[in-house]
Structure 1
Amino acid sequence: MSQHVRAETRGPLGIITLDRPRALNSLDRDMVLAMEEALERWAEEPEVRAVVVRGEGRGLCAGGDVRALRDGPDEAAVAFWADEYRLNALIAGYPKPYVPLMDGITMGGGLGISAHGSVRVVTERTSVAMPETRIGFTPDVGMAALLARAPGELGTHLALTSSTATGADAVYLGWADHLVPSDRLGELVELLGARLGAPEVTEETALGTAHDAVRSLALPAPEAPLAAEREWVDEAYAGDDAQTILDRLVELAAEGHEGARAAEEAIRSVCPFSAVVTLESLRRAAVMDVVDVLAQDLRLGAALVARGDMREGIRALLVDKDGAPRWHPARIEDVDAREVEAAFGGD
């Protein structure tokens, strides 16, 4: 078990609390295994009718502990991802209502333990992102499946630029189900316990009961800021070629689209190889289920950690914080298509 994970039962609820607030509840291997153990145990206990997952501090979870991955051997990073992705698959197929409270920062691996759930809750403070291209990696934890299925090309935009989105955006994107005021989350947990503890609730009706309980405290989701960006985003990000996308963004920026200008600058700042791999990953994920996407994530993780860009990105962004990563290659137009295919396990 992990000192940073509290797993307790309260009536019909199993409650997991991530308690590593100074690191924004970033996941290490012990935390992943502790969550897995609790979820597997509660899946077999009939008195536990639903699981709630929450985080201490300013967010649910900022992702995996990439600083630790940078300091260890490649094999340790791949082993961590294998454990993490097994947890993500367990959540995606969990047999009981799984209710993540995505309050505050919920990014990277934090979305892996929440966006695959069945009763997903965001708040007005939620900030979601898959920012992996900024550190020489690619959106993992099965999120390529959800990015690929987001409205239009918004998932492609978010993945390539490593942009953040709001709680209302998360509902619009299909990553969350309900928006509840942050000051009512405690009340929500109590209400879930009361509703699911009623004797008439069965295994078959528990999911609907959980949704009804959350819905009774939820607000109508405000208009998603991303919805207003759909027209130019869909125009810019269509197709399978990253360089073509950049060229379209340049054209749109010249026409006065400030969003396109910011997107172009963001894509030019992220790891070029990661950007090209990410675009290909999303296109493949569009016809894959979450389990298959997680298997793809593991292959890509092993390939990318061996390249060196990831350690360089973590150094520049999180360790030295100089904001000047030295990517190889330095430009998207110089990325070798054969190396990209090899990262997916091709020849």
Structure 2
Amino acid sequence: MQDGERPSEVIIERRGTAGIIRLNRPRALNSLTLPMIRAITEALDAFAGDAAVASVVVTGEGERGFCAGGDIRALHESARAGDGLAGAFWREEFRLNHMIAFYPKPYVALMDGITMGGGVGLSSHGRHRIVTERTRLAMPETGIGYVPDIGATWLLPHAPGEAGTWLGLTGLDIGAADAIHARLADLQIASSRLGEVIEVLSILPLGSAPSDVDAVLQALSEPPAEGQLQRNAATIDRAFRFDSVEAILAALAVEEGDFPAETRRVLLTRSPTSLKLALRLLRDGRRSISLAECLRRELGACLQMLHNPDFFEGIRAAVIDKDRNPKWSPSSVEAVEAASVEHFLKPAEPPLLL
């Protein structure tokens, strides 16, 4: 890099037989921009067609996060300007999520540190998902007046019981053990050994099967401790089995203990519109037959979000004014009309092509 030249937001390299993709916005927790989405897609295409690449590793620079999701400030600005960038971002991001889910070579995501939203999309759709003692995973969208996307309405319904519903509605973060329990990750490896992971993968023979990569990673892994989702599984399943947010809140109110009380308190701070739409999308996802179906439904909802006051208010409170005090409209789940939720379910035009 020449003096004065901006560093690349995505670093692409080859190490032995491993193709490496490094997200390189550490000060922004490697949050994704449209050029980053395009660079990752281009790199994956190239590695897929390169006979000298046995596996692909995706990691984040810096010690704080793998990827905190999409650059929501940029999405907010695009929505305000009506320039179409937000829609283009989601379309290309969702195509990338689908590509990762069906990638032809072993795809290894190192989910070290903060892994949220779009970061979950870059990792949890992959074949080999590694978490560490520093992992904090979340789908925090209901807290910013948005909804879980990146195929989360396919991933979360496949978690045991109602763990995915809890994750999608509360937006709270979980650690390594619960990420594995929720089937969003596979193995825990100490952060101090991630360099060793890359070194071992770099000497994998060409043509290695996913089972060969599994064996390598398993040898470096450590058993996770029990997490809060496992400890509270019965409570979560009882309270979140309902198909209305009102019923979930009522069920939490009669559960005993700190966990249901805190869960209910958190839900009451989230966008009521987002809660109702997220629950609808999660239930629709449970009945869906493919990731593609969920991504198409999510894109329609995302595009409608560009006209939703809570989307602007949530991002204002979280990243612009940073007062952490959004004023939702409507302000309660009881005031959210069914017709307004249906409005978000309009199919995207043109349809998402995968």
TM-score, length-scaled by structure 1: 0.94
Alignment partner for residue 77 of structure 2, among 51, 62, 71? 71
Q: CA deviation at 1:287?
A: 2.5
Alignment of 1:18 onto 2:27: no
Alignment partner for residue 138 of structure 1, among 147, 151, 157? 147
Aligned to 2:251: 248
Q: What amino acid does structure 2 have at the position aligned with 1:71? A: E
Q: Distance in 2 between matches of 1:189 and 1:104?
A: 17
Aligned to 1:82: 91
Q: CA deviation at 1:249?
A: 1.1
Aligned to 1:148: 157
Q: Distance in 1 between matches of 2:171 and 2:7?
A: 30
Aligned to 1:276: 276
Aligned to 1:46: 51
Query: SS of the counterpart of 1:232?
Result: helix
Is the CA contact 1:61–1:110 (under 8 Å) kept in the aligned structure 2?
A: yes
Q: Distance in 2 between matches of 1:127 and 1:32?
A: 22
Q: What amino acid does structure 2 have at the position aligned with 1:277? A: L
Cα deviation 1:167-223 (Å, max 9, x = unaligned):
1111111011111011000011111122x23xxx53xx4211111111110011222
Cα deviation 1:256-311 (Å, max 9, x = unaligned):
32111111111110100000000010001112221111111110101112112111
Aligned to 1:263: 263
Q: What amino acid does structure 2 have at the position aligned with 1:271? A: S
Cα deviation 1:25-64 (Å, max 9, x = unaligned):
0000000000000001111111111100000111110000
Q: What amino acid does structure 2 have at the position aligned with 1:278? A: A
Question: Structure 1's 166 and 49: CA in aligned 2 closer, same or farther, altered over 3 A?
Answer: same
Alignment of 1:28 onto 2:28: no
Q: Distance in 2 between matches of 1:33 and 1:297?
A: 20
Q: CA deviation at 1:225?
A: 2.4
Aligned to 1:315: 316
Q: Distance in 2 between matches of 1:2 and 1:312?
A: 32
Q: Distance in 1 between matches of 2:78 and 2:228?
A: 39
Q: What amino acid does structure 1 have at the position aligned with 2:71? A: D
Is the CA contact 1:100–1:121 (under 8 Å) kept in the aligned structure 2?
A: yes
For residues 168-207 of structure 1, the aligned pairs below 5 Å read 168-194=177-203, 196-197=204-205, 202=207, 205-207=208-210
Aligned to 2:352: none
Cα deviation 1:111-134 (Å, max 9, x = unaligned):
000000001111111110000000
Is the CA contact 1:2–1:30 (under 8 Å) kept in the aligned structure 2?
A: no
Is the CA contact 1:4–1:31 (under 8 Å) kept in the aligned structure 2?
A: yes
Query: SS of the counterpart of 1:165?
Result: coil
Q: Distance in 1 between matches of 2:297 and 2:8?
A: 31
Aligned to 2:291: 290
Q: Distance in 1 between matches of 2:36 and 2:199?
A: 25
Q: Distance in 2 between matches of 1:328 and 1:179?
A: 41
Is the CA contact 1:140–1:294 (under 8 Å) kept in the aligned structure 2?
A: yes
Q: Distance in 1 between matches of 2:181 and 2:210?
A: 21
Q: Distance in 2 between matches of 1:122 and 1:48?
A: 23
Q: Distance in 1 between matches of 2:260 and 2:213?
A: 40
Unaligned 5+ segments in structure 1 are none
Q: CA deviation at 1:2?
A: 8.2
> Number of paired residues?
337
Query: SS of the counterpart of 1:9?
Result: strand
Alignment of 1:161 onto 2:170: yes
Q: What amino acid does structure 1 have at the position aligned with 2:322? A: K
Q: Distance in 2 between matches of 1:131 and 1:264?
A: 15
Q: Distance in 2 between matches of 1:323 and 1:19?
A: 27
Unaligned 5+ segments in structure 2 are 1-5, 348-354
Q: Distance in 2 between matches of 1:141 and 1:341?
A: 20
State the superposition RMSD in angstroms: 1.4
Q: Distance in 2 between matches of 1:239 and 1:264?
A: 14
Q: Distance in 1 between matches of 2:201 and 2:325?
A: 47
Q: What amino acid does structure 2 have at the position aligned with 1:332? A: V
Q: Distance in 1 between matches of 2:325 and 2:169?
A: 18
% same residue: 43
Alignment of 1:61 onto 2:67: yes
Is the CA contact 1:2–1:34 (under 8 Å) kept in the aligned structure 2?
A: no
Is the CA contact 1:2–1:31 (under 8 Å) kept in the aligned structure 2?
A: no
Q: Distance in 2 between matches of 1:323 and 1:183?
A: 34
Q: Distance in 1 between matches of 2:7 and 2:98?
A: 20
Question: Which stretch shows the higher mean deviation, 221-230 or 112-121?
Answer: 221-230
Aligned to 2:240: 237
Query: SS of the counterpart of 1:17?
Result: strand
Cα deviation 1:99-151 (Å, max 9, x = unaligned):
00000100000000000000111111111000000000000000111111111
